[in-house]
């Protein structure tokens, strides 16, 4: 099943679950999706993984602050979101890090910021998710089959 057909099947199944009033099966499907994405999400925030993409010192700091959420929206599919909040500063700019850039003030002078690409590799967030996509897709299809069978049995 290709990606578009799979997404359409997911939306159709979600609509049938809603129509049938099967909140328990909807929750089961959402949980299965989150569980399928969890290994890749855990890898994104592991220190050993981050050290492949950025200086060790910064990888250690980012790993401590990084939070990866998986949202299995029954109409929108799967979203994996990363954020790294910091106290009073608005966060660690995950998109910049994934692009292989880091910005910092020179010697603490917050009036003059510099972009650093040395020691940075792009795609720390995207790479593990792309590598895990086939397993995530298989997990999702398996969960969809199980929930569809259960729905058919109940109705």
Give the pLDDT confidence score for residue 76 in this predicted structure: 56
Question: What tens digit of pLDDT does each residue of 80-120 get?
Answer: 889 988 766 668 889 999 999 998 888 889 899 899 999 99
Q: What is the pTM of this model?
A: 0.78
* Among 37, 101, 32, 93, CA closest to 68: 37
**CA 137 to chain centroid:** 14
3-state secondary structure at position 90 = coil
Question: What tens digit of pLDDT does each residue of 40-72 get?
Answer: 999 999 999 999 999 999 999 999 999 998 877
For 14-82, give the DSSP string: HHHHHHTT-HHHHHHHHHHHHHHHHHHHHHHT-HHHHTTTS-HHHHHHHHHH-EEEEEEETTTEEEEEE
Q: Cα torsion at 150, 155, 26, 138 (round to 10°)?
A: 40
CB 113 within 8 A of CB 105: yes
- The token pair at 126 is 């995207």
Q: Round the CA-based radius of gyration of the chain to a whole number and report it.
A: 20
């Amino acid at each position: 099943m290709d990606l578009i057909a799979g997404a359409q099947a997911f939306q159709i199944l979600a609509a049938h679950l809603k129509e049938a009033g099967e909140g328990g099966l909807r929750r089961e499907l959402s949980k299965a999706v989150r569980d399928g994405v969890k290994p890749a999400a855990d890898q994104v925030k592991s220190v050993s993984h981050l050290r492949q993409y950025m200086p060790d010192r910064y990888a250690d700091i980012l790993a401590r602050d990084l939070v990866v959420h998986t949202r299995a929206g029954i109409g929108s599919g799967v979203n994996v979101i990363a954020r790294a909040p910091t106290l009073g500063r608005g966060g660690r700019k995950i998109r910049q890090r994934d692009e292989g850039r880091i910005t910092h003030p020179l010697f603490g002078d917050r009036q003059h910021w510099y972009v650093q690409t040395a020691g940075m590799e792009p795609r720390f967030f995207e790479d593990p998710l792309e590598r895990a996509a086939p397993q995530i897709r298989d997990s999702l299809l398996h969960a969809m089959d199980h929930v569809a069978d259960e729905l058919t049995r109940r109705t």
